Amino acid sequence: MTKAARLRPNFSRRKFIVVTGTIALQLIRPIRVVAAETQSLDERFDYLRTHGNSTCSAAFTESIAKMPLTARLQGSCCAPMDRHRYGEQVQALRKYAAIPEIPPDPYDIVAGIAQRAMSQYDTALSPDEEKAYQYAMDNSDEKGPCCCQCWRWRVYGGLGKLLIREHRFTGEQLVDVWNLSSGCGGGAEHHHD
């Protein structure tokens, strides 16, 4: 083996793409935030509720890995979006703005962020990490990362593992992220305490 070959990092093509994509997303994140802020919340809601491209199909889930990093997964999967609930979600998710892996809008997710989260879905957790993850499964509003085992289940399930492993999230913190990130639509079942 040559000296150059020994010094070259051992990256798979997939790992290289995920790392490169994450770096690219970090660079475009400020642009994306500025662009989103130029639209009012009502304008964003009106656009997303009528221009959604996401579905609960297996084909859509499989297509995410092939999407350009800057493509967007938009709209609700299961039920019409609720304007009041949408506003609450986007506002409350701002507390996680320092964590770039958490989408700031559950109805407008950059494909690169979804791809990174999905890549973590099958990650094995330590026993303590698994307890935190199971707590979130048992206590979230949907009894998991989404109401059905669609692409959002895999994205937010993988995100949960990433948050527990890399950001030391507790089960309670993960419940909060999952509850605020519900992208199934609806709002009639949502009540204020």
Condensed to tens digits (0 to 9), the pLDDT of residues 25-40 reads: 554 444 444 445 568 9
Residue 188 lies in a domain: no
Residue 76 lies in a domain: yes
Q: Calculate the average pLDDT of the chain.
A: 85
Identity (one letter) of the amino acid at 76?
A: S
Write out the residue range of the structural domain in which residue 43 sits: 11-180
Residue 107 lies in a domain: yes
| pTM beyond cutoff 0.85 | no
pLDDT at 20: 58
pLDDT at 177: 98
Instruction: Point out which residues pair with 52 in neighbouring strands.
Output: none
190 vs 44, higher pLDDT: 44
Strands, E, within 83-138: which ranges? 108-110
With beta carbons less than 8 A apart as the criterion, state whether 184 and 77 touch. Answer: yes
Q: Are strands 72-74 and 108-110 parallel, antiparallel or unpaired?
A: antiparallel
Residue 111 lies in a domain: yes
Identity (one letter) of the amino acid at 163?
A: L
Q: How many domains would you assign to the chain?
A: 1
pLDDT (tens digit, 9 = 90+) per residue, 140-188? 999 999 888 889 999 999 999 999 999 999 999 999 999 999 988 877 5
Residue 192 lies in a domain: no
Residue 4 lies in a domain: no
With beta carbons less than 8 A apart as the criterion, state whether 148 and 55 touch. Answer: no
Residue 62 lies in a domain: yes
Residue 3 lies in a domain: no
